[in-house]
A and B are shown apart, each in its own frame.
Chain A
């Protein structure tokens, strides 16, 4: 049996696997589907979790309750949840069912990150903002969120990575995505295909992580970047 690495490389470099032939989807299409499921799930999660996290972080009200409820979501097995949802909602709504399953996993991460980010802004800074005459929404928008941005973006990265990895379960309910290669490879005992699918998912995760790190570097204020260039270190 030849080396598993050369098999995976052979599979990945086979031109047939890079185009859609006779209705059998190639890598680009699967990649597109995977990104689509991931993007949709992260977008919906962010729309739910960031405003909610910002609100409870700013007011300090209901924090323990919400964080407690949401943390219990982390214990849900995504695959089981997905299959249950598809059974309940029907195969026609499989994409929606997948999105719900992925969102239920990403929301706790984003909510905790946003809540902690807003809550951890130096109280003296918030006090100064209020004392200077900022209204509550101005304090949140102009002071708390910009200062929470490193933590919020960090949680978006963490959630996105988790969703990319978990989106493979789409294949279990007859949807596409890179998980298709893993599931099909397993079913047909084509282990080169299965391993190549895993490699593709990992590669996608790394690329997305790099892109998001770049975005974070661009949008976070230089005043918040680490390591801090303190006067002391420059003087030495």
Chain B
């Protein structure tokens, strides 16, 4: 557990970066510090490993004042990941990852062996260990940065905007990878970002800071979206917060209607007969949806239903993958993005189950409100 007790950081020129911060960061969870630039989120993070020294107040790590031991010793027990990774350009990827274990006295060969395993843990081939950081893409470098921070198996990981310099698609991959890693490792992660979407996706708890270094709200992502404490938080959380809040409600029990389906390779006549409300889903031989046909799209063609004619489908709503239903957000998005206004619903294997409508999502939302599942 990391506790900030009335922590203030005042710079020599009088600027207050962090102002009387009280914050308790729970073990084994991802806590995200988010806020506009100048809100002191990075300063707060860097005070945990004493890269910045607090002007007043106390920070406790597992009940012990972080100033009780020398800064270097403290830092060796805390993983640290920064923007652009900050890999050592003169060392191979493997030696980069092995840095902290070697500083702690692990034999070189043992440290390298462990480093190679860690590369695979973060989704990189072990052969990449022989390369130098300059030969890696930004996303790969950032994965190496995470592996390097994990090398000495520290209980706490500090991540300072680690994914903000990579492109959105790679960023999404890295975020998913972090969540997967975290579900295996259960580290105490403190994560700084300026991106509220990233905060909501990754955080078990989110601390929103305002300019001047004051804590505005500290809550779970769903509570943050449902009930921002003031206008600042509301505006920072963003305009689509009602829609995004649906992401925290399970769509379990939502009504899934049967939907007209045609196999690829069926004749056009068969397809025309199958249409319901002018539309039918086309499935391949494993019953995975591949697109739609409509009265209009079938009116000019003959023979067998072919892939090239299909109207492309919307997003998919996965009902019941390994006992976990998708969220109301994915269900609603499936319905809204579908050309037939029917959200294609698939099972864990991706096979067609049926369809959901926007109305059924709203009905489920109303039910959740009545049952008190929506935080108010």
Q: CB within 8 Å of B: which residues of A?
A: 122, 124-125, 127-135, 138, 143, 146-147, 149, 221-224, 228-231
Contacts and interface: CB of A to CB of B under 8 A. Distances in A.
Most A-side CB within 10 Å, residue of B49, B132, B148:
B132
B51 A125 contact: no
B46 to A, nearest CB: 8
A224 B80 CA distance: 24
B125 interface: no
Contacts of B76: 132-133
Contact of B72 (A135, A143, A146, A149): A135
B123 interface: no
B135 A221 contact: no
Interface string B138-151: 00000001001100
Given A133-B72, A223-B132, A128 B90 contact: no
A124 B49 contact: no
B72 A134 contact: yes
Given A124-B83, A223-B133, A231-B135, A129 B88 contact: yes
Nearest to A226: B134
A149 B51 CA distance: 27
B75 A132 contact: yes
Interface in B67-97: 72-77, 80, 82-92
Given A131-B82, A138-B103, A125 B75 contact: no
B90 A223 contact: yes
A117 to B, nearest CB: 12
Chain B interface category by residue count: 20 to 34
Given A134-B103, A138-B103, A223-B91, A128 B86 contact: yes
A122 B103 CA distance: 21
Contacts, number: 81
Nearest to B100: A132
A48 B74 CA distance: 35
B99 interface: yes
Given A130-B75, A223-B92, A224-B90, A124 B84 contact: yes
B88 A230 contact: no
A131 B49 contact: yes
A221 B149 CA distance: 23
B137 interface: yes
B185 interface: no
A128 B82 contact: yes
Contacts of A223: 89-92, 132-134
B136 interface: yes
Most chain B beta-carbon contacts within 10 A, residue among A128, A133, A135, A146: A133
A130 B82 CA distance: 12
Given A125-B88, A128-B82, A146-B90, A231 B136 contact: yes
A128 B73 CA distance: 15
B86 A125 contact: yes
Contacts of B72: 133-135
Contacts of B85: 124, 128
A112 B209 CA distance: 44
A122 B137 CA distance: 17
Contacts of A143: 88, 90
B80 A131 contact: yes
- Sorted nearest first, the 6 A-B pairs with minimum C-beta distance are A128-B86, A223-B132, A133-B76, A133-B75, A221-B90, A131-B80
Given A127-B51, A228-B134, A231-B137, 16 more contacts: A122-B89, A124-B82, A125-B87, A125-B88, A128-B82, A131-B82, A132-B75, A132-B149, A133-B103, A134-B72, A134-B103, A147-B89, A221-B91, A223-B89, A224-B89, A231-B135
A36 B74 CA distance: 50
B134 A230 contact: yes
Contacts of A125: 86-89
Nearest to B137: A231
Nearest to A228: B134
Interface in B272-325: none
29 contacts: A124-B85, A124-B86, A125-B88, A125-B89, A127-B51, A127-B82, A128-B80, A128-B86, A128-B87, A129-B86, A131-B80, A132-B99, A133-B73, A133-B74, A133-B75, A133-B76, A133-B77, A135-B72, A138-B103, A143-B88, A147-B89, A221-B90, A221-B132, A223-B90, A223-B91, A224-B90, A228-B134, A228-B135, A231-B137
Contacts of B91: 221, 223
Q: Which of B83, B85, B135 has the most CB of A within 10 A?
A: B135
